Each structure stands twice: as structure tokens, then as C-alpha cells.
Structure 1
């Protein structure tokens, strides 16, 4: 299986690749142990900042979704699934997010015609897939105020990637892990942890594993995930649903699979489990697709929805580009436990 890979070149890129490989070892290597004094400094400064920050309320119940590790572990599909689950429970949720990778940090509302570079690829995908109002901004409290002013019907806020945003008071938090778990168990920069893995699940917190089985000692629930199917890029933008028939029709073809997500190999493995023969084309997380990473004239390309959000079908002449969607379901027990951490639902359950 060949790999068509688009990554920055140079000494820094090679050092970054080496460090990430060390992070995801089961235990710390000799090389990263040399960085542990810096990890101790990072922890000290982070804890000092946390203690000095007084949480502020938004006037609404808040559920924070985030990672203890750097990078992606499944926050975006979790937020989308939570929007639908909370609606069924009688809530009208809105979403606030920093909008990682966007140009600028000011507060901005996400619209259907927003560009990913202006609002962030994940917030735009959340808005398109869930229909919930989404506002981005480095200051999550300011984003919350803007969202409430524009959407007075919203009665609960989901904070995407807000676990370490200590100013934001929260009723509950969802800590998401993928199959990599906590890696080597060390904080940055010697390991991938933004916060050290706790010995027990923190108060008012739930752990969700975007994996077939728990990947840390913390008790939690495993999301039910599978590929929902494929749809051509132009059809995806027009709102056409994916189908397994279209995905299975790609069996036996020479397919390039592109993925600019936190763990691209997971996407490639799921495609291969569906019987596709593919050439993997991993690109950096939040890749902007300013240039196409696959060879010109590639007949069939498959990619994730997070990648599709930055591509127009007109930019891909000579290639059939297929968007492969994820079917991500939350366990009933997880949803019920989250409901117990929230006030009573104020309205009759509904799903638009």
C-alpha cells in the first residue's frame, strides 16, 4: 500500500514527526524523557493559570466537549451527535467554538456560505451537519453572548474543544478519547497530554471513547461508529445523503484516500474494512487544500467530510471526488447519564 503524503518538509517537520511517534508509544522512550523538565514547567504554568481563572456563567446550561490530548480524537462527530440527542431530549442547543485554524480570532457567526478559512473547518461542518447555530471566537464567553443575542430560542450551549477554557463555567463535560488513549501518559511536550490523565473521572464529567474499546483506565462509554456511505462532492454540497451502495461501487477501483484529520489511519482502516483498495494520502490536520494533494487526473478520490468542507468540485477536474460520511451514534446509557447532569429539559422533545 503506497502512501501519497503531503507534509511540510525540513528539519522542523522531521522533528515534529519524530516527536509525535514518541508520543503514541505505550510508555515514554529515552528521547522524550529528556523533555520531562519542560513538561513539568508546562504543568506548573497551566495549573497556575487554572487556579487564577474564575469561571464565568453564560446564563445557560453548558456542556463542554474536549480532549485531554492534543489534536483530534472525535470531538466534531461527538458534538454533532450531541446536538441531535439533546434535541430529542427537549433542548434547543447552540454551539460555541474557537474555530481552530481560522484566519483571525474575533467572534463570528457561522453561516452556510461561510468559508472554512474564516470560521474553521470543524465549526462549519458542525453547522452544516446539525443545523444548530454556531458562533466562533477565541473568547468563548463573548461567542456565547453573541449566539444568545442572535438566537434567543437557544437554551443550552455546547462548547466545542473547551475543556481547558477555564473561564467558561460548565454543567457537564465530555472527555473524548480515540483508540490512541493517552499515548505515553506524559504532558506536553514530552507527551500528548494537555492535562495529566486523572486517576478517576472528574466530577460532572463523562468519558466517551471514539474506539471499539476503552483506551485508558477511565470508565466510560464507546461510541458506535461506522461509515455511512459515499456521495460525490457536488452532491454532498447539494445536501444529497451518502449511500453504502456508492461506497461499495468503489471496490476494485484504484482509489486515493485523502484525510486531514487527527488520526487519518483510522479512516483508511475503515475504508479497507469495506473492501476498498486504496492509496492513502494523509495530510496535516486542518489542511487547507489550497493545492490538491493527489496526482492530477486521479480517477477516484475519497475523503472525509472535514476535508470536503474546504473543496469545490470545480477545482477537481478529471477526478471523481467522493465524500465518505461517518455514522456516529451515542450509547443510550451515555445520553441518559448526561441528562442527569443537566437541569430539567424546558420543552417538548423535537428533532427538525
Structure 2
């Protein structure tokens, strides 16, 4: 957590200078790897339908999952039949695997399960996106567009459209590659991209801005919709890429917090994590809820979030997708 905080400060912390040689090595390895794929030295898999990659150049939360969910819901309204592929980060496998709504998040990952439940679209997980795309075509031949959750740097799968997500608040941090900074690829990657999308405000590199809005509250134990009592004091937890955003959102909604605790992204919750909080009503994200449902108390609640796609983005993306479909 300390390291991530330093990544997003304007000046490089003195201790991070010790990591800069590793960042230079990271740059060398990743650029060699990328050149091997694009020169044809390493084979790339081409799916039989258009592939949209929703990714980022930094680690941590940039709103990829809400974007994938919003894309699936919108494309279904437009008559498309989307399917989602994902790494299944945090899941134990086996891989590749087609996710069902009753799967255990510890085996399939929290985000794939969330996307499966929210979209009712096929979701296939595998660390190698090409394997996931192959299984998708075999098990779900009606799928006519594949959306890859993350995978911008997984060049083994050819893609037709890249949606690069940016957090407008945190941007590209200190501008350094891992581990001295938060970047997987340099900011140069944004300058030549057709689809750079920012959340939570406009960023200089962004061509479209997506609003992410808080949604309905639900009980964690049974998913029942509820209205929070305005006079209650709540304790908040979050195991997402940027926990403070969730806590800030609660404050903006006028919700009083007696305290909050951030966990690492994809944290595997145990009942012991809440042993000191048994008397408190607890608020959490929808992603956290799937891993807490088995031992949740009746006064634990989660909130959905909704990404709102701008109309001009929908129009342009649909036209681009139709063009890509015609060449497959």
C-alpha cells in the first residue's frame, strides 16, 4: 500500500530511486517481447469474431470492470451477442474455464464472477487470453464479439479495438514503469491510441469521458435491495485497486463512517478479517461482497456502480465494430 501511494506522488521518493534500474530492465524486456509478437517471431491468435480489449497502461483500478459490464449491456441492446474473456486473477482454476453464476470466486476470481452475474453473458477465464478466446468460440458459437477484460499487454491475442482506461484523478502517476512507478507501458502508448477513455473526470490524453455513478445498495448475505438508514454509522472496507475512491464516494453520498480499512486488490477475505467489527454495519463494494457472502451478517451491505457511456462514444464505437465485423 505504501508503494502504491508513492507511485502517485509528483516527485519520486528517494527509496524509489533504488528501483529505477529494475524499471529500465522492465522496459527492455517488455519492448523486446512486444517486438517479437509484432514482427511475427511469436505467433498471435486471431479469433473468428471482433475482439475489443478493455485495458490500461497502469496497475490498479481504472474502471475496467464497470466498462466491460456497461459494454456488454449496451451491445446486447444493440442486438450483438457479446462474450467476455478474463485472466481470472486470484482464481485457482482449472483453466480455461467457462464461469457460471454459482462458481466459487476463490476458483474463478472475483471480477469474472461479478461480470457473469451482472451481464448474463458467457465469461471464459484463462491466464492466456488466446486459450480463453478459443474455448469461447467452441462453447458459445453464437457469440459475435469478444470483450477482453484487461489484456492490453497480452499480445498473443490479436485485437480489433483497444479501449485504454485512465483514472483522471491519478493519471499516469510519477511516469515511471514498474516497479519504480505504476506503469506497465509508457505514456507514449496513449498518444497513438484511437480509444483512450478516462473515468472520474477528463484527462489530457482522453478522447472520451465515462461517468461512473453509485447504484443500489444490497444486503451481502442475500443480495436483497435495501435503503440505508441515514442516521446509522457505518464501517467501510474495500479490496479494490484504489480503495480510497470507494471511501470518498461514500462521504460524497453523505454516509457517515466510523472508520474504514483498505485491503489489497483481490484480497481473499476470511471471517477473522471482521472479528473486531461484529457490532458495526459494514459497507463494501460489489466485488468484495462475492467473497464475503458465505459468512456475512445481516447488516453488511454492498453498492453497485454503473458506467455511463457517452452517446458519441457509442455511435463511433458501433461504427468501428461494424467495420471490423465485415473484415472477419
Normalized against structure 1, the TM-score is what?
0.85
What is the 5 A alignment of 1:311-326? 311-312=292-293, 315-317=295-297, 320-326=299-305
What is the 5 A alignment of 1:23-172? 23-53=7-37, 54-104=43-93, 106-172=95-161
Q: 1-side partners of 2:202 and 2:231: how far apart?
A: 31
Give CA deviations for 1:169-211 in whole Å, capped at 9, x if unaligned: 11101111122111001101110000001175334x3111121
Structure 1's unaligned 5+ residue stretches are 1-16, 347-352
**Residues 43, 165 of structure 1: alpha-carbon distance in 2 compared, 3 angstrom cutoff:** same
Q: Is contact 2:50-2:324 (8 Å) kept?
A: no
Residue 304 of structure 1 is matched in structure 2 by 285
Deviation at 1:223, TM superposition (A): 1.3
Structure 2's unaligned 5+ residue stretches are 38-42
What is the 5 A alignment of 1:281-292? 281-292=261-272
Give secondary structure in 2 for the equivalent of 1:285.
coil
Q: 1:262 aligns with which of 220, 233, 241?
A: 241
Q: 2-side partners of 1:139 and 1:33: how far apart?
A: 33
Give secondary structure in 2 for the equivalent of 1:63.
strand
Give CA deviations for 1:231-269 in whole Å, capped at 9, x if unaligned: 212341xxx4x46xx13x2x2212011111011111111
Residue 186 of structure 2 is matched in structure 1 by 196
**Does residue 220 of structure 2 align to residue 233 of structure 1?**
yes
Give CA deviations for 1:22-66 in whole Å, capped at 9, x if unaligned: 211123233323322211110110011111124321111000011
Q: 2-side partners of 1:20 and 1:200: how far apart?
A: 21
Q: Is contact 2:70-2:306 (8 Å) kept?
A: no
**Does residue 207 of structure 2 align to residue 223 of structure 1?**
no
Give secondary structure in 1 for the equivalent of 2:165.
strand
Give secondary structure in 2 for the equivalent of 1:275.
coil
Q: 1-side partners of 2:261 and 2:111: how far apart?
A: 20
Query: Over the residues paired in the alignment, what is the CA RMSD in angstroms?
Result: 1.9
Q: Is contact 1:39-1:190 (8 Å) kept?
A: yes
Give CA deviations for 1:56-99 in whole Å, capped at 9, x if unaligned: 21111000011100122111101000101222233110000111
Deviation at 1:282, TM superposition (A): 1.2
Deviation at 1:303, TM superposition (A): 0.7
What is the 5 A alignment of 1:234-249? 234-236=221-223, 240=224, 242=225, 246-247=227-228, 249=229
Q: 2-side partners of 1:183 and 1:146: how far apart?
A: 37
User: Which is further off, 280-289 or 184-193?
Assistant: 280-289
What is the 5 A alignment of 1:200-219? 200-203=190-193, 205-214=194-203, 217-219=204-206
Q: 2-side partners of 1:199 and 1:78: how far apart?
A: 20
Q: 1-side partners of 2:314 and 2:100: how far apart?
A: 28
- Count of aligned positions: 317
Normalized against structure 2, the TM-score is what?
0.91
Q: Which runs of 4+ in 1 moved over 3 A?
A: none
Give secondary structure in 2 for the equivalent of 1:258.
strand
Give secondary structure in 2 for the equivalent of 1:196.
coil
Deviation at 1:324, TM superposition (A): 1.0
